Amino acid sequence: MSAPVAAPGTPPLGSTSSGTGPPNGPAALGSIRGGAVGDRIYRWTITGFALCVPLLLALIALELGSAAWPAFRRFGLGFLAESHWDAVNGRFGAGPAIFGTVVSSIIALLVATPLAIGAAIFLSEFAPSWLRQPVAFLVDLLAAIPSVVYGLWGIFVLVPLLRTHVMPFLSNTLRLGGTPLFSGPAYGPSMLAAGLILAVMILPYISAVSREVLLAVPRSQREAALALGATRWEMIWDAVLPYARSGIVGGVILGLGRALGETMAVTMVIGNRAEISASLFAPGYTMASLIANEFSEATNELHLSALMAVGATLFAITLVVSAIARWLVWRVSREAGT
């Protein structure tokens, strides 16, 4: 393994030594012991690059915070709970957008989580070896499709399908039309459409993390369960899944982070209306789609600042969510890895 890796690395040892010339003999020791100017410059350079990461994050926080400040000063923290978003009369509240973000993400998680974990179990436990690679590749490919292409598919396939088949089926055939969740006319662009398209988009993330975590569960765990007489499913349910639980939860939260901030596909299918409705058939807004939809049409400073405040809120929420997810996944990989 190391031979082919070493091969491309070896030539420069000899060939470049004539350049600046690594010193020969005892003088070399001096340069290795940290006296060399080059080492110090190199160290400062890469430290500088490394510092770019926290600085960039701080800069984003600062820019968003200062742009959002006028809106927060005007409306206070009540901005987050206020349910009116009325650009014409200058009343701004992030309520509808936060509500829409939460609801569409919940739908996405409810649909995607069982499917993603099921697919991960299939890939790690049951798939015949010839099928394992192609299916894993296809699931990974799902993550590579640009958001705007999902949106295109949503507009021309998913939304018409919902309008003509799924929504009438839910409200008429299943007689759920009377319940608040499925009431109202079936336009097509709706919270339901946004949730479903998000589900498809976060599937590969949850599935990939779950698969990795499941593969990290020790063999002995499985063998012990089988030796006790468990069926294959009982082995997974009682021995493998509990062991992998916090890692899978981390994957789900990672997916949640993606769903919360997903913009284009949601903007294209959610209908973009700043109202809070219990019905999944009603159009709505998410924080991201609100920004995408109104930002370039913002009429005055306050409107712009309110949109920035929505952005800053989204920034803060995803910051917390992804920190939790990383912490969970990191904890599992530390336990399993070493």
Partner 1 sequence: MTAASRGGLRRSHPSGVQRAFAARTGRTLGRRRVVNGAMIALTYLAAALTTLPLIFILALLVEKGASSIRPHFFTSLPVPVGEVGGGMANAIVGTLILIATAAAIGLPVGIGAGLYVAEYGRSRLATAVRFLSDVLNGLPSIVIGIFAWQFLVRPIGHFSALSGGVALGAMMIPLVTRTTEEMIRLVPTSLNEAALALGYSRWRTSLAVVLRTALPGIVTGALVAVARIAGETAPLLFTAFGNQFWSVRLTEPIAALPLQIFTYAISPYDDWHAQAWAGALVLIALVLVISLVARFVTRARFGAAAD
Looking at 109, 239, 264, 280, which residue binds partner 1 (CB under 8 A)?
264
Per DSSP, what are the bridge partners of residue 86? Answer: 91
Q: Which stretch binds partner 1 (CB under 8 A): 51-59, 167-175, 239-247, 273-281?
A: 51-59
Q: Which stretch binds partner 1 (CB under 8 A): 57-65, 169-177, 215-223, 244-252?
A: 57-65
Q: How many of the chain's residues bind partner 1 (CB under 8 A)?
A: 106
Nearest to 309, CA basis, from 101, 74, 102, 100: 74
Q: Which stretch binds partner 1 (CB under 8 A): 80-88, 162-170, 202-210, 277-285?
A: 202-210
Whole-angstrom distance, CA of residue 208 vs CA of residue 180: 35
Looking at 72, 82, 84, 138, which residue binds partner 1 (CB under 8 A)?
138
Looking at 13, 88, 297, 338, which residue binds partner 1 (CB under 8 A)?
13
- Closer CB to partner 1, residue 27 or residue 176? 27
Whole-angstrom distance, CA of residue 226 vs CA of residue 326: 32
106 binds partner 1 (CB under 8 A): no
- Closer CB to partner 1, residue 1 or residue 77? 1
Looking at 76, 78, 90, 146, which residue binds partner 1 (CB under 8 A)?
146
- Judged by CB under 8 A, the chain residues 268 through 327 that form the site for partner 1 are 268, 288, 291-292, 295-296, 307-308, 311, 314-315, 318-319, 321-323, 325-326
Whole-angstrom distance, CA of residue 154 vs CA of residue 189: 9
- Closer CB to partner 1, residue 63 or residue 175? 63
Whole-angstrom distance, CA of residue 241 vs CA of residue 245: 6
186 binds partner 1 (CB under 8 A): no
150 binds partner 1 (CB under 8 A): yes
Q: Output b/e per residue, 164-175; b: 16+ Cβ within 10 A.
A: eebbeebbeeee
208 binds partner 1 (CB under 8 A): no
- Taking 3-state DSSP, the helix, strand and coil percentages for the chain, each rounded to the nearest 5, stand at 80, 0, 20
192 binds partner 1 (CB under 8 A): no
301-337 and 241-261 helices cross at what angle (nearest 10)? 160
Nearest to 260, CA basis, from 283, 279, 287, 292: 287
22 binds partner 1 (CB under 8 A): yes
Rounded to the nearest whole angstrom, what is the least distance from the CB of residue 62 to partner 1 in the complex?
A: 9
Nearest to 307, CA basis, from 319, 321, 290: 290
Q: Which stretch binds partner 1 (CB under 8 A): 73-81, 138-146, 170-178, 243-251?
A: 138-146
- Closer CB to partner 1, residue 177 or residue 194? 194
- Closer CB to partner 1, residue 191 or residue 256? 256
128 binds partner 1 (CB under 8 A): no
Nearest to 186, CA basis, from 160, 151, 155, 157: 160
Rounded to the nearest whole angstrom, what is the least distance from the CB of residue 166 to partner 1 in the complex?
A: 15
Sign of CA dihedral 99, 105, 108, 110: negative
Rounded to the nearest whole angstrom, what is the least distance from the CB of residue 259 to partner 1 in the complex?
A: 10
Stated length of the chain: 338
**DSSP 8-state symbol, 79:** G
Binding mask 217-236 for partner 1 (x = CB under 8 A): --------------xxxx-x
DSSP string covering 148-205, please?
HHHHHHIIIIIHHHIIIIIHHIIIIIS--TTSGGG-S---S-SHHHHHHHHHHHHHHH
212 binds partner 1 (CB under 8 A): no
Q: Which stretch binds partner 1 (CB under 8 A): 75-83, 131-139, 180-188, 244-252?
A: 131-139
